[in-house]
Structure formats: C-alpha cells, structure tokens
Copies of this chain bind each other. A is one copy, B any other.
Amino acid sequence: MSVLILTEAELRQLVPMDLAAIGAAEQAFRALGEGRAIQPPVLALEIPPRNAEVDIKTAYIEGLPQLAIKTSSGFFDNPAHGLPSLSGFMAALSAETGRMEAVLLDNGYLTDLRTGALAARELARPDARIAGVLGTGLQARMQIEALKLVRPLEQVLVWGRRAETAQGYADEMTQRLGIPVEIRDTAEAVVREAEIVITTTPSREPIVQREWLHAGQHLTAMGSDAPYKNEIAPAALAYATRFVCDVASQSLALGELGPAVAAGVMTETAQHTELGTVVCGRAAGRTGDDDITLCDLTGTGAQDTAIAAHALALAQKANLGHIINA
C-alpha cells in the first residue's frame, strides 16, 4: 500500500479557487440532489475543558474514485498562544476498496474553497454587479474571489467590526480583484447597497435585518456553524422569496434555520429548499428578477469528498506530494 501525503503549500499550488473548484462543489450538490450521495450526520466532539470542538464529515458520491473524511478542529484558546484557532485535514479512501490513498494536510484550505460561488451562480441575478461582504477574514477573501468568477462584478463593499481590518481588506482585495473594494461604516449600508451579499462572521446575534433586504437581492450566509451562532434575523429568512440551504438538518441544528424555527417564523420542514435539488433542477431557485434569495451554508461531507477527489486528480497529473510505502 502506498499513501500520498500532500501539504497545505502543495494543495494551494495544486488547487486554485477556479471554475474547476466550483465545478467540484457543483458535482457534490448535483449528487446530493439526485440521490447519488450518501452523507451521514456530522460527528461532533465538543471538548468544553479545552474550549474546543472537533467536527468530522464524510460522504460517498457515486462515481468518484475516493471518499473523503474531513476533520476540522477549533481550539479557541489557541490565539492566546499565538496559534490560529482552526485547523483541519482530510483523509481520502479508495471508494472501491476502502484502503487509505492520501492524507491532505490542507489545514482547512480545501474547506474554504467552498460553495459560496456555486450558491450565487444558482441563485443570484445574472447581471448582479455589486457584491457586499460582512466580515474581513479568509472566507471573506475567498468567497468574493470565487464570486467574481461567476458574476460580472464591478464593485465590492465590505463591513467589518474593526475599521482598520476592513481597510486592510479593501486595500488588499482592490489589488487582487482589479475592481474597487470600498468599506462601509455599517453592515446595513453594505446590505442595502449590494446585489449579492456574503456573510462570513461568527456572530451570535443576528446582524442582517429584514428591512435591509431589497428586490432582486441574493444573500449567502457562510458564518454560522454552531447552535449559538446566528447572522440573519429570523424575520429576514421568512421574508425571502426562497430560502435555500446546503443540508436542511444542519441548517436547523447549526445554521440559520434553527433560530428562525425557534422564533416561530419558519417551519422545520416546509419552507426550505436544499441547494442540491436546485443544482439538479428538481426544485426552483430564482424564478424572477425581483425574487429575494437567501442561502445558508454549513458545509457538507459531499463537497469535501468532491474537492478531495478533484485535488487528487490534479496531484496525479502534477506528480506532487510525498509517497509513504506502508
């Protein structure tokens, strides 16, 4: 048996945020929508004495040569010791034999290459030109970069809790995107002005309010991934023409659907559409220019499997990585 080990640096070189990466996410959601994926619930190990959590996701997708097991950990006391809170890796098993094929020491990079752009491609108006982003971290960078691949963006607006960080984001992203990136003083100003909004904050209180939404808008919420997190006001969820989520059970447990159901303005089962069914055409996404579409993403094992298989196909061609003969 030989096992391929790929480091984060190798994976960054190998797997850019490009249309092929978005295609891998599409493949995952198409499989989910068509019932060709098997995706068990997330395994969550909560470690209160360490102020930490480890999440494990996996999924099998018919037709892909590997299946991934993705571990992501958040150790929230790390910053006090000069380390980032989040880390992670994927293991790829042969989907045919179950033998270990590769370890992707991606440190979360492959997770970040995720589906904001796919959701926008499926749900935003094709002519949307102004994007807004709440938050100024890695997700805020990667998702806007991906969005530019699928919509004719001419301007990006950003809001962050700390003005200097937001300014840093604006300066860096203006360079990287080649279009103006401007800061706004409030989340409200960003949401009222932008045609596509991406929220990437770890907020525990809803930021986006119903009154800020306007006809034709699309919003993707990426930040909430725990029961105590919430970026979008329940009333805003209920107000949208269509509420889409990657996995309904996760959106209920960890994402934006939970607080809206708790507030009594959404039902557990009737008012959401899963992204996979939109991707494969079994459910409607945007049906008109004035629709307001909202999408909540919590992360799926199927995406992890699809992006791992994509990375391994690229690694094979590029002949990158260390091989361990075991």
A317 CB within 8 Å of chain B: no
Are the CB atoms of B87 and A89 closer together than 8 Å?
A: no
Are the CB atoms of B98 and A75 closer together than 8 Å?
A: yes
Interface digits, A100-141 against B, CB 8 Å rule (1 contact, 0 not)?
100101010000000000000000000000000000000000
A46: chain B residues at CB < 8 Å are 38, 40
Are the CB atoms of A105 and B326 closer together than 8 Å?
A: yes
User: Could you tell me the distance between the alpha carbons of A38 and B107 in the complex, rounded to whole angstroms?
Assistant: 24
| Chain A at the B interface: SS class | strand
Are the CB atoms of B67 and A54 closer together than 8 Å?
A: yes
Instruction: Name A97's contact: one of B58, B67, B78, B103 (CB within 8 Å).
Output: B78
In the complex, chain A residues 1-38 whose Cβ is within 8 Å of any chain B Cβ: 1, 3, 5, 7-9, 38
User: Could you tell me the distance between the alpha carbons of A95 and B50 in the complex, rounded to whole angstroms?
Assistant: 8
A326: chain B residues at CB < 8 Å are 7-9, 105, 107
A78: chain B residues at CB < 8 Å are 97-98
A44 CB within 8 Å of chain B: yes
Instruction: Name A49's contact: one of B1, B3, B62, B69 (CB within 8 Å).
Output: B62
In the complex, chain A residues 43-99 whose Cβ is within 8 Å of any chain B Cβ: 43-47, 49-50, 52, 54, 56, 58-60, 62, 67, 69, 71, 73-75, 78, 81, 83, 87, 89, 91, 93, 95-99
User: Could you tell me the distance between the alpha carbons of A195 and B27 in the complex, rounded to whole angstroms?
Assistant: 57
User: Could you tell me the distance between the alpha carbons of A3 and B75 in the complex, rounded to whole angstroms?
Assistant: 18
